[in-house]
Amino acid sequence: MDYQNLLLEKNDGLLTITINRESKLNALNGKTLQELKSAFDMAYDEEEIRAVIITGKGEKAFVAGADISEFKDLNELNARKFSEEGQEIFNGIENCPKPVIAAVNGFALGGGCELAMACHIRVASDNAKFGLPEVSLGIIPGYGGTQRLPILVGKGIANEMILTGDMISAKRGHEIGLVNHVVSQDELMNKTKEIAAKILAKAPIAVSHAIDCINAAHTNASGYQTEANAFSSAIKTDDFTEGTSAFLEKRKPNFTGK
Ligand code: COA
Summarised one tens digit per residue, pLDDT across range 166-187 is 999 999 999 999 999 999 999 9
Instruction: Output the CA 64–ligand 1 centroid distance in Å.
Output: 6
Q: For ligand 1, say whether the CB of 170 is within 6 Å of any of its atoms.
A: no
What is the spatial distance between Cα 184 and Cα 198, in angstroms, rounded to a whole number?
A: 20
Instruction: Output the CA 90–ligand 1 centroid distance in Å.
Output: 22
Average pLDDT across the chain, whole number: 97
* Residue 219: predicted pLDDT: 84
Instruction: Output the CA 24–ligand 1 centroid distance in Å.
Output: 6
pLDDT band at 24 (very low <50, low <70, confident <90, very high): very high
The atom of ligand 1 lying closest to the CA of 250 is 25
Percent of the chain with pLDDT over 70: 100
pLDDT > 90? residue 39: yes
Q: What is the mean pLDDT of residues 200-219?
A: 95
pLDDT > 90? residue 229: yes
* Residue 255: predicted pLDDT: 97
Q: What is the mean pLDDT of residues 119-148?
A: 98
* Residue 25: predicted pLDDT: 98
CA 18 to chain centroid, in Å, comes to: 13
What is the spatial distance between Cα 33 and Cα 189, in angstroms, rounded to a whole number?
A: 23
Q: For ligand 1, say whether the CB of 63 is within 6 Å of any of its atoms.
A: no
Q: For ligand 1, say whether the CB of 84 is within 6 Å of any of its atoms.
A: no
* Residue 107: predicted pLDDT: 98
The atom of ligand 1 lying closest to the CA of 136 is 44
Which are the catalytic amino acids? Answer: 114, 134
pTM score over 0.75: yes
What is the spatial distance between Cα 1 and Cα 168, in angstroms, rounded to a whole number?
A: 36
The helix/strand/coil state of 122 is: strand
Paired with 102 in beta bridges are: 54, 122
pLDDT > 90? residue 1: no
* Residue 14: predicted pLDDT: 97
For residues 230 and 145, the answer to whether their CB atoms sit within 8 Å is no
Percent of the chain with pLDDT over 90: 97
Instruction: Output the CA 102–ligand 1 centroid distance in Å.
Output: 20
* Residue 76: predicted pLDDT: 83
For residues 122 and 100, the answer to whether their CB atoms sit within 8 Å is no
Q: For ligand 1, say whether the CB of 67 is within 6 Å of any of its atoms.
A: yes
* Residue 77: predicted pLDDT: 84
The atom of ligand 1 lying closest to the CA of 24 is 21
Q: What's the one-letter identity of residue 146? A: T
pLDDT > 90? residue 37: yes
What is the spatial distance between Cα 215 and Cα 91, in angstroms, rounded to a whole number?
A: 10
Q: For ligand 1, say whether the CB of 74 is within 6 Å of any of its atoms.
A: no
pLDDT > 90? residue 221: no
Kindly report, residue by residue over 67-117, the tens digit of the pLDDT: 999 998 999 889 999 999 999 999 999 999 999 999 999 999 999 999 999
Paired with 109 in beta bridges are: 131
Q: For ligand 1, say whether the CB of 253 is within 6 Å of any of its atoms.
A: no
Which residues, other chains included, contact 223 with Cβ-Cβ below 8 Å and sequence gap of 6+? Answer: 146, 147
Q: What is the mean pLDDT of residues 28-34?
A: 97
